[in-house]
Amino acid sequence: MANFAMPWVDADFRRKTTRLTKLQRNAYRDLLQACFDGNGILQDNNRRMAQICDIDLRTWRKHRPVLLAFFYQTADGWRHKRVDHDLARIAKIREQRSLAGQKGALQTAMRWYRKH
């Protein structure tokens, strides 16, 4: 099955990031994508986060409080409510499609069995 792309609502993003600088907006967008790609978790590692944002470690440390204010910390790392919601919705869609595929395969097998 094809991978889902991260859902993106530009109006929501713009509304929530109006007070950020361009560097912060770009870094936040990169962190959101990394969080989505990492199954909802950003590891609490300054070097890795700076690398994700394509900025040096000193700049990362300067902007870290502003950027991580959009996330919440857990024992596993940093998470984002919207990413959690989107991943849960995607998991539900995958489950529904899997069940539909199983049902279709069973119907096909039953038709084949009746013919033979």
Q: What is the CATH number of the domain that holds 29?
A: 1.10.10
Inside any domain, residue 57: yes
Q: Which two tokens stand for residue 20?
A: 């950020």
Q: Which two tokens stand for residue 42?
A: 């950003």
Inside any domain, residue 2: no
* Closest to 74 (Cα-Cα) out of 106, 40, 51: 40
pLDDT 10s digits, 54-102: 999 999 999 999 999 999 999 999 999 999 999 999 888 777 777 667 7
Inside any domain, residue 14: yes
H helical segments located in 1-116: 10-16, 22-37, 46-53, 57-68, 81-115
pLDDT 10s digits, 10-38: 898 999 999 999 999 999 999 999 999 99
Its domain, for residue 48, covers: 10-115
The pTM of the full predicted model, rounded to 2 decimals, is: 0.78
Name the pLDDT band for 2 (thresholds 50, 70, 90): very low
The rounded distance, in Å, linking the Cα atoms of 28 and 22 is 10
Inside any domain, residue 3: no
Q: What is the tally of structural domains in the chain?
A: 1
